Amino acid sequence: MEMIKIFMLFLVFIISALIGKFLSKKYVYRLEELEEIQNSLNIFKSKIKFTYEPIPEIFEEISQNTRKNIGLIFSKAKEKMNTLTATIAWEETLDEILEENKTNLKKEDINILKSLSKLLGQTDVEGQVSQIEITQNFLESQIKEARRRKSKKRKII
């Protein structure tokens, strides 16, 4: 009987440790995805500013050069741009990604990315570049918060 109790306690300990590791990884993955989006927006801004490529072509290139989850966002948005405006395609893609829970991003992260769609494909180059920079500034605060949470939560485990 005593052996069963010890075994059960050991099992509870192992399961708790595994759950803790899993939860701490979510903080790491969120931070990585936010940084990946930040890098993607830098590429987007540079391409718009200097190459004048169409947005679908830029999104295609970004989707091929980024990690799976973030590349998926740009790839889906590019596909939707065949039939929809850039604004609507970007917003619908972000809504789908949030619904399907395909990333570790939080709802507020997605809302910040949605703010990018306000001028996407609707204004001149400078207007789009300034909207990208505004979005990047908001993302920077999310990245700082994600780093803080990652440090705090990973220490517990």
Report the helix count and the strand count for the chain, using DSSP H and E: 6, 0
What was the pLDDT predicted at 155?
59
92 assigned to some structural domain: yes
Q: What is the pTM of this model?
A: 0.82
What was the pLDDT predicted at 1?
79
151 assigned to some structural domain: yes
Write the pLDDT tens digit of every residue in 74-110.
Answer: 999 999 999 988 889 999 999 988 888 878 888 898 8
Phi-psi map region of 42: left, alpha, beta (phi>0 left; psi -120 to 50 alpha): alpha
Asked if 49 and 125 touch (Cβ cutoff 8 Å), the reply is: yes
Residue 131 has pLDDT above 80, yes or no: yes
Cα separation, 38 vs 42, in Å, equals: 6
65 assigned to some structural domain: yes
10 assigned to some structural domain: no
What was the pLDDT predicted at 46?
92
5 assigned to some structural domain: no
Cα separation, 132 vs 140, in Å, equals: 12
Query: What one-character DSSP code corresponds to residue 101?
Result: T
Domain tally for the chain?
1
* Burial of 142 (C-beta count, 10 Å sphere; 0-12/13-18/19+): buried
Domain that holds residue 39: 26-156
Maximum separation of any 2 CA atoms in the chain, in Å: 76
1 assigned to some structural domain: no
17 assigned to some structural domain: no
140 assigned to some structural domain: yes
